[in-house]
Amino acid sequence: MRKLKKIPNFKTEDGEREFWSKHDSVGYVDYSNAKRALFPNLKPSTVSISIRLPELLIEKLKSLANERDVPYQSLLKIFLAERVERELAHKG
């Protein structure tokens, strides 16, 4: 077993971020007993936007969402994600 380097004490998160951006953790951490971590409840970062849509479109979306028993904003995100993936698949 090789000797590991001592991880410095960091005064700030910025200092720690700077350190790890320039150093490989292999020399500082023993990964031989590491276990894969699962974060099932981790949600991706989101950004709030404002978009103007015709009232009739929103009503139709709400109706579809009601049939599926999901919030209309969630259904809109699903529709957008599916369409973006389809467009990207056709592009590449």
Note the pLDDT tens digit of each residue in 1-36. 678 999 999 999 999 999 999 999 998 999 888 998
Closest by Cα among 61, 83, 59 to 72: 61
3-state secondary structure (DSSP) of residue 35: coil
Q: Note the pTM of the prediction, 2 decimals.
A: 0.54
User: What is the rounded distance in angstroms from the CA atom of residue 33 to the CA atom of residue 66?
Assistant: 48
User: What is the rounded distance in angstroms from the CA atom of residue 12 to the CA atom of residue 60?
Assistant: 50
* First vs last C-alpha separation in the chain: 47
In a 13 Å sphere around the CA of 84, the CA atoms on its Cβ side amount to 6
User: What is the rounded distance in angstroms from the CA atom of residue 55 to the CA atom of residue 57?
Assistant: 5
Domain ranges of the chain: 1-32, 42-92
Note the pLDDT tens digit of each residue in 27-58. 899 988 899 888 888 888 889 999 999 999 99
